[in-house]
């Protein structure tokens, strides 16, 4: 370590490209998230079911094993339903992960007014949201999107080219459903931790929003004798969209798929508005 002279010098060196500055925030956020060993262990455990599933895919197509039990077409069918169930479970894990990590990302910046220091630099609110949101999206995406695509790739390599072409909709569906669910989780996590600065409450609120929406929607349906309350139930909306994408015919609620898409996008918009409003208040110091 150099011995620094106690004098001030102006900086005149090179600068990083402005477009990459949100990655700085992301890097610091990752470091702070994984400072907790408990969280790190919990996160790694979230991959265990997927490892089991990937092993099952291999076993399901293993000719020796199939011959042993005199089975020709595999133990179970790999179709939209299989993908839907596996991804559904992973999305639940991703939801819990979001409830754990999102409050640790935004709340500390708001509690002690650090946000005004970020935003008094050449760094915008959008970049802030992007930087923090990227952390949730990356971590949750590693639990959902990546394993989903991995399942598709492994199954394709095991079964063959024809299966891949016939079931390409599974890959598209995985990308689309992961995109919308991760967007909702990310924005919900940021919005709740911007609204409630107490970490535990913010975490609980992230999970509670699903139950509150479901309950409130059911109440509206009963009181108003309508089915429109389901638009407040995010879980039903996601299921409707997911079942359509994975060609699953099991009915969830009597709502059109396009209605579910619009409702989910509208929820994203509302969450974005909440985040923007809360951050706007905090960015102005003094």
Partner 1 sequence: MTEPHIELEDLRVTLGKREILRGLNLQLRARTVGLLGPNGAGKSTLINTLLGFWKPTSGTARVMGFDVRTQARQIRALIGYMPENDCFIANMPAVSFVRLGAELSGLPAEQALERAHEALFYVGLGEARYRKMGAFSLGMKQMAKLAQAIVHGPKVLILDEPTNGLDPQARTRMIKLIQEMRDLGTMHIVVCSHLLRDIEEVCEEAVILKAGQIVHYSNLEAERASNRRFVEIETEGDDGTFADAIEMLGCVCSVTAGKIRTVLPEGIEIRDIYRLAAARDIQLRRLNYRRDSLEDIFLKAMDMKTPDIKKEVLSGRL
SS3 state at 81: helix
Separation of alpha carbons 29 and 183, rounded Å: 18
Reference 151, options 84, 93, 96, 91; nearest CA is 84
6 touching partner 1, by CB under 8 A: yes
**The pair of three-digit structure tokens given for residue 24, joined into one six-digit string:** 């700085």
Which region among 119-127, 188-196, 205-213, 216-224 touches partner 1 (by CB under 8 A)? 119-127
CB of 249 to partner 1, least distance (A): 50
Separation of alpha carbons 255 and 44, rounded Å: 37
CB of 197 to partner 1, least distance (A): 12
Q: Which of 63, 161, 223, 286 binds partner 1 (CB under 8 A)?
A: 286
- Of 119 and 238, nearer to partner 1 (C-beta) is 119
Question: How many other CB atoms sit within 10 Å of the CB of residue 239?
Answer: 19
CB of 23 to partner 1, least distance (A): 10
Separation of alpha carbons 106 and 98, rounded Å: 12
Evaluated on CA atoms 146, 147, 152, 153, the torsion sign reads positive
Q: Which of 105, 117, 132, 269 binds partner 1 (CB under 8 A)?
A: 117
Residues numbered 57 to 116 that lie near partner 1 (CB under 8 A) are 108-109, 111-114, 116
SS3 state at 226: coil
7 touching partner 1, by CB under 8 A: yes
Helical spans, DSSP H, in 196-256: 199-224, 234-245
CB of 180 to partner 1, least distance (A): 30
Q: Which of 52, 64, 73, 122 binds partner 1 (CB under 8 A)?
A: 122
Separation of alpha carbons 97 and 195, rounded Å: 19
CB of 25 to partner 1, least distance (A): 7
Site residues for partner 1 per CB under 8 A: 1, 4, 6-16, 18, 21, 24-25, 28, 32, 108-109, 111-114, 116-124, 283-286
């Amino acid at each position: 370590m150099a011995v620094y002279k106690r004098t001030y010098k102006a900086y005149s060196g090179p600068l990083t490209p402005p477009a990459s500055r949100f990655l700085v925030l992301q890097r610091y956020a990752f470091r702070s998230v994984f400072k907790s060993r408990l969280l790190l262990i919990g996160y790694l455990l979230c991959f265990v079911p997927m490892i089991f599933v990937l092993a099952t895919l291999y076993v399901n197509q293993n000719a020796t094993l199939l011959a042993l039990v005199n089975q020709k077409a595999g133990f179970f069918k790999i179709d939209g339903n299989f993908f839907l169930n596996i991804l559904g479970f992973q999305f639940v894990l991703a939801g819990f992960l979001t409830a754990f990590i999102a409050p640790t990302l935004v709340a500390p910046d708001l509690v002690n007014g650090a946000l005004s220091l970020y935003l008094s630099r050449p760094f915008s609110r959008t970049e802030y949201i992007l930087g923090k949101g990227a952390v949730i999206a990356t971590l949750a995406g590693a639990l959902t999107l990546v394993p989903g695509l991995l399942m598709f790739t492994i199954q394709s390599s095991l079964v063959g080219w024809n299966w891949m072409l016939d079931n390409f909709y599974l890959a598209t569906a995985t990308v689309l459903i992961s995109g919308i669910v991760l967007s909702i989780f990310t924005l919900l996590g940021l919005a709740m931790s911007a609204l409630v600065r107490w970490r535990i409450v913010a975490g609980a609120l992230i999970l509670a929003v699903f139950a509150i929406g479901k309950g409130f929607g059911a109440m509206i349906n009963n009181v108003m004798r309508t089915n429109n309350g389901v638009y407040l139930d995010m879980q039903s909306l996601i299921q409707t969209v997911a079942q359509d994408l994975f060609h699953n015919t099991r009915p969830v609620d009597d709502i059109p798929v396009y209605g579910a898409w619009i409702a989910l996008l509208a929820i994203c918009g509302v969450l974005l508005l909440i985040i923007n409003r809360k951050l706007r208040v905090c960015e102005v110091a003094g």
